[in-house]
């Protein structure tokens, strides 16, 4: 009888030990994997639209965290060429994307034209200036014209094309102040540090401190097309391709249009 009791106690102890081990294994399998950080380098003019799209995307893809780097397309291009971390690049002009393409830095088959924009002339909301067209920037009362720095800022390149076509570039340069990206140009006009400035239609649309003075005729500059691509050195190729596909979806299209972009 005593032996039977000992055997029963031993079997019960073994059962408890096995249950404890099983629970431990289950707990060890549970740790949550950290979300993938996707580095997205995007033109400054995309700031508002991309932030909204980023929030939408992260809600649907809990395993992906988007880290945006906004700036002039030229500066972003140079950073990528110098080994800066980037999974996806969205440029405000073909020039910068072409440069990366020529250096074989784009993932094959991922490049796509996303959006179209317009170049516009703006003044501060309370400005008394009457600037019905781009030639009017040479009016005597205009002392400072805010432009993007043409070497690396696409809106600055488009601006120079417009003023060259109109035959007034040299005169404009004498009054120009150059911003490091389109949002700096916008800010200078908003604060009155510049009498007028040249930005994208979408930048003018998101500010309640400026007003639209004129739209550049389409034949005065190259088409303003925003290309996007996944970078060849991306360490998160699947997630990068998924996000690029999302940027071409109907849901993303509605957001881009809300901010004044035309979708390709």
Q: What is the pLDDT of residues 82-110, one digit of tens each?
A: 999 999 999 999 999 999 999 999 999 99
CA gap 3, 46 in Å, rounded: 80
Q: Which two tokens stand for residue 40?
A: 């997205």
On the question of pLDDT at 35 being above 80, the answer is: yes
CA gap 163, 169 in Å, rounded: 5
pLDDT confidence band for 32 (50 / 70 / 90): low
Rounded mean pLDDT of the chain?
Answer: 91
DSSP output for 70-114 = EE-HHHHHHHHHTT---SEEE-SSHHHHHHHHHTT-BPTT--EEE
Query: Taking residues 126-134, what's their average pLDDT?
Result: 97
Domain extents for the chain? 36-116+225-263, 119-220
Architecture of domain 119-220: 3-Layer(aba) Sandwich (3.40)
Higher pLDDT, 9 or 154: 154
Neighbour tally for 236: CB within 10 Å = 17
Q: Report the relative pairing of strands 64-71 and 88-90 from DSSP bridges.
A: unpaired
Angle between helices 47-60 and 250-258 (to 10 degrees): 150
On the question of pLDDT at 16 being above 80, the answer is: no
Q: Identical fold at 36-116+225-263 and 119-220?
A: yes
Please report the pLDDT score of residue 33 as a whole number.
Answer: 72
CATH class for the region spanning 36-116+225-263: alpha beta
On the question of pLDDT at 156 being above 60, the answer is: yes
Contacts of 229 (CB under 8 A, 6+ apart): 88, 89, 97, 100, 101, 106, 107, 110, 111, 112, 244
Please report the pLDDT score of residue 21 as a whole number.
Answer: 47
CA gap 212, 134 in Å, rounded: 12
Q: Please state the pTM of the whole predicted model.
A: 0.83
Query: Taking residues 208-221, what's their average pLDDT?
Result: 97
Please report the pLDDT score of residue 31 as a whole number.
Answer: 53
Question: Which residue, 45, 25, 11, 34, is CA-closest to 200?
Answer: 45
Above pLDDT 70, what percent of the chain?
A: 88
């Amino acid at each position: 009888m005593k032996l039977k009791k000992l055997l029963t106690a031993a079997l019960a102890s073994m059962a408890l030990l096995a249950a404890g081990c099983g629970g431990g294994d289950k707990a060890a399998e549970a740790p949550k994997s950290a979300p993938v950080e996707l580095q997205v380098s995007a033109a400054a003019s995309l700031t508002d639209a991309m932030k909204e799209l980023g929030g939408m995307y992260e809600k649907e893809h809990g395993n992906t965290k988007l880290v945006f780097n906004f700036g002039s397309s030229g500066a972003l291009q140079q950073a990528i060429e110098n080994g800066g971390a980037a999974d996806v690049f969205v440029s405000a002009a073909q020039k910068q994307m072409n440069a990366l393409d020529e250096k074989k830095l784009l993932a094959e088959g991922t490049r796509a034209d996303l959006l179209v924009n317009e170049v516009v002339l703006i003044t501060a909301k309370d400005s008394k200036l009457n600037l019905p067209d781009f030639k009017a920037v040479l009016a005597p009362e205009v002392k400072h014209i805010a432009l993007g720095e043409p070497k690396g800022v696409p809106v600055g390149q488009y601006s120079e094309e417009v003023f060259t076509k109109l035959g007034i570039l040299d005169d404009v340069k004498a009054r120009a102040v150059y911003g490091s990206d389109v949002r700096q140009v916008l800010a200078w006009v908003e604060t009155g540090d510049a009498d007028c400035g040249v930005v994208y239609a979408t930048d003018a649309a998101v500010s309640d401190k400026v007003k639209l003075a004129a739209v550049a005729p389409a034949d005065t500059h190259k088409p303003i097309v925003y290309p996007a691509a996944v970078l060849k050195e991306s360490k998160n190729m699947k997630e990068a391709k998924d996000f690029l596909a999302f940027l071409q979806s109907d849901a993303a299209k509605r957001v881009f249009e809300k901010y004044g972009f035309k979708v390709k």
